[in-house]
């Protein structure tokens, strides 16, 4: 299978997953809300039914922030209310757009998957078993075969 076909399959998957999420949310929003209050009620109902723990919404028009509000909780269990400034932990959700962007750069021949990560990110330095390793490749990161440990358990305790 060619690289363009693989990229097309990844893109189709992203569109499908993203489309399902948007459909699930948009199917609960009035088609033509008559006011911001009506829109906010729909979003609050969406959050209160457990579809998502919380979310922050921002609307920018002509380069200016015209609306900013948060709904629900910034964490789970619900202890910290969401705010417009909340930074949400996406965890593995960022893998999909990151892989897509990398494959687009590869497809346009702007990078090689077998190049060391340090070639593009000079600050990327890791130490595995107390030995510096500067030869981790982009392909290894994409395949989870770089030898980097899973730091999540130590991050969340």
Ranges of each domain in the chain: 3-92, 111-156
**Positions marked catalytic:** 92
Cα→Cα distances 39→23, 74, 80, 127, 141, Å: 16, 20, 23, 49, 41
pLDDT at 116: 92
Tens digit of pLDDT per residue, the chain (157 long)?
A: 555 555 545 444 444 444 445 445 555 566 677 888 888 888 888 888 877 788 888 888 888 888 899 998 887 776 889 999 988 777 677 788 889 999 999 999 999 999 999 899 888 888 777 666 668 899 998 988 888 777 766 666 5
Cβ atoms within 10 A of the Cβ of 96, count? 15
Q: What is the pTM of this model?
A: 0.49
Beta bridge partners of 127: 132
Strand 54-61 relative to strand 126-128, pairing: unpaired
What does the angle CA 24 – CA 25 – CA 26 come to, to the nearest 5 degrees? Answer: 100
């Amino acid at each position: 299978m060619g690289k363009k076909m693989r990229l097309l399959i990844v893109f189709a998957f992203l569109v499908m997953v993203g489309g399902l999420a948007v459909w699930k949310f948009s199917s609960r929003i009035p088609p033509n809300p008559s006011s911001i209050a009506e829109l906010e009620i729909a979003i609050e109902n969406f959050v209160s039914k457990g579809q998502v723990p919380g979310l922050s919404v921002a609307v920018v028009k002509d380069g200016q922030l015209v609306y900013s509000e948060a709904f629900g909780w910034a964490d789970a269990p619900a202890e910290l209310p969401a705010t417009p400034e909340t930074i949400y932990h996406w965890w593995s959700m960022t893998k999909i757009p990151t892989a897509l962007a990398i494959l687009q750069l590869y497809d346009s021949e702007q990078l090689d998957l077998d190049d060391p990560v340090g070639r593009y990110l000079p600050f990327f330095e890791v130490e595995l078993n107390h030995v510096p390793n500067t030869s981790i490749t982009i392909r290894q990161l994409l395949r989870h075969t770089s030898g980097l440990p899973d730091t999540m358990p130590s991050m969340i305790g």
